[in-house]
Amino acid sequence: MALSVATHALGVTVATRRVAFEGAASLQTWTWRFILLAWWMVLMHLIEITLWALFYLWQKALTEVPLALYFSAVTYTTTGYGDVVLPMQWRLVGAVEALTGILMCGWSTGFFFTAVARMVQTESR
């Protein structure tokens, strides 16, 4: 969980420094900034999902890479199909991944909201 949070914090920090939301810009420029930001945040989530999958493989809770990635993605996003489950002794860890995924997705949403607010504030000046 700590590694997911640290990865996300690094990703948000990089996004904050790389995607300039200050100054007047055209609608097309703002659109590209948001596309870049969305791409970056999705990449951060995919990295975090991969880290969880690697953990499951390392601990032998799951034994196949595609299965671990699939389970992690479904769990992290709280889709929860239930077609793949962890062994009984690992199921609480899966729940922690889901809670972490909710928090990280919420953080991304808040970050997007802040970026839109900055755009609106900049454009209204």
At residue 8, what are phi and psi to the nearest 5 degrees?
-65, -40
pTM for the structure as a whole: 0.88
Chain-centroid distance of CA 84 in Å reads 21
73: three-class secondary structure by DSSP: helix
Residue 89, both tokens: 């002794």
- In this prediction, residues 18-46 reach a mean pLDDT of 80
- Please check the confidence at residue 85 and state whether its pLDDT lies above 90: yes
Query: What CA–CA distance (Å, rounded) separates 23 from 18?
Result: 14
Note the pLDDT of residue 32: 84
* CA distances from residue 24 to 21, 32, 69, 125 in whole angstroms, order as listed: 9, 14, 41, 9
Domains and CATH numbers, the chain: 2-123 (1.10.287)
- Please check the confidence at residue 34 and state whether its pLDDT lies above 90: no
Q: H-type helices in 1-125, by residue range?
A: 2-18, 27-58, 65-76, 91-123
Q: How confident is the model at residue 123 (pLDDT cuts 50, 70, 90)?
A: low
Residue 113, both tokens: 């909201």
